[in-house]
Amino acid sequence: MPREPSVEGGGAVDTPEIVHSVRRADLKAVGEVRRSLRELMRHRCRAEATEVAELLITELVTNALVHTEQGAEVSACIADTRLRVEVRDYAARRPRPHVPTADDGTHGRGLVLVETLADDWGVDALVPGAGKVVWFELDA
């Protein structure tokens, strides 16, 4: 999931990253993931980018835990000035942005937020039966 460190001039460049495994229905772990991301971005990114990244990672991890039957694998890395976050779950169903109505309450806004706030985002299907990766990137 995280990108390999780039190699420049014969030596590996340190690519800061986080990796978390989140158990099924462990919504308390969402805060841990968010704190790890904040720490990763602390001295490398603008405060506004950190706030957006925390919101988006919260949405993606929560979606994976609420809408699938298994846990999720979360990774984030910063390469140059670009943050990439990936959330892998084990469900084949592709998420789609949903325009919420007043009847939806506070639900259904996660992917709309990702679509609106991320510099880039997408869904990559894995081999059949292995699930998918939902990812976003931000210029940090």
The structural domains of the chain, with segments of one domain joined by +, span: 13-71
Specify the pLDDT at position 7. Answer: 33
Question: What are 88-117's pLDDT values in tens digits?
Answer: 999 988 887 766 666 665 556 788 899 999
Residue 85 sits at φ, ψ, to 5 deg, of: -120, 135
Tell me which DSSP letter residue 24 carries.
T
pLDDT (0 to 100) of residue 5: 36
Which structure tokens are listed for 109? Answer: 């806004």
pLDDT for the residue 30: 94
Residue numbers of the chain with a pLDDT score lower than 70 = 1-16, 98-108
Q: Report which of 65, 79, 82 is spatially closest to residue 24, judged by C-alpha positions.
A: 65
Which residues lie closer than 8 Å to 97 by C-beta, 6 or more apart? 111, 112, 114, 115
Structure tokens at 77: 């890395």
Q: What is the pLDDT of residue 129?
A: 79
Q: How far apart are CA 134 and CA 19, in angstroms?
A: 15
Total length of the chain: 140
